[in-house]
Amino acid sequence: MPTPPLTSRRPIIVALLMLTLFSGVVHGVLDGRWAMQEDKTATGAALKELPKKIGAWTLVEEGDIDESALQLLRCYGSFMNVYRHDLTKSLVTAAVLYGPRGPIAVHTPEFCYSSEGTDQSRSRLVETITIGDTGHRFWSVEFTRNDDPSDKFEVWYGWSTGGEWMAAEHPRFWLTDDLYKIQLSGPSIESSFNPCESFLTALLPHLEQHIK
């Protein structure tokens, strides 16, 4: 069968090129790759300007997420600190990140903890923390460690564009260049005192002064 002349194949070639270009643009937009890269490091650095004492919680270890995660998430700013409750001595590890929408949105605890020797022990729930007139919503997930099923811990997380925090299904599709994310873990305690809830209630009024 003779090969069609180039002129007859040209529309098909052009259509394929346009489809490839369009798919690349869509992926770049969702990933936040082409968001305006004005200097956002000052906004990111402000996340660390928190007091060492937050309500009944005291900072006991100051740090950040590891370098490989920082490169993966392309953060403009972040921290990962450990706080201790003055009365119960419960510990929570709190991470706050600010970066381009795509990578900040897609890495959830269900994905990250699955490779770290843990099992998800219940479906995620929506938790609400009310500060003033604003209701902030977070996902909460419980995990157990494979080597000790009795050792349970909770992870709470949510995203924000600078206003209220939301337990969103698909924040990658929000019409914004950048996202903030909170993720914290603490012991799962069968009592009226929930360490993650207590810490977030204390943290949010301080944190809202440093995000925009």
Alpha-helical runs (H) found in the chain: 6-31, 41-45, 67-73, 101-106, 109-112, 195-207
pLDDT at residue 172 tops 80: yes
CATH number attached to the domain at 36-207: 3.40.1000
Supply 135's token pair.
């209701």
For residue range 106-160, list pLDDT tens digits in order.
878 887 776 677 888 989 999 999 999 999 999 999 999 887 877 899 999 999 9
More confident residue, 115 or 101: 101
* pLDDT band at residue 14 using 50, 70 and 90 as cut-offs: very low
What CA–CA distance (Å, rounded) separates 183 from 196?
10
- Give the pLDDT confidence score for residue 68 in this predicted structure: 77
Q: Are 105 and 183 spatial neighbours (Cβ–Cβ below 8 Å)? A: no
Task: Select the more confidently predicted residue: 112 or 46.
Answer: 46
Q: Which residues pair with 80 in a beta bridge?
A: 95
Q: How many CB atoms neighbour CB 211 within 10 A? A: 16
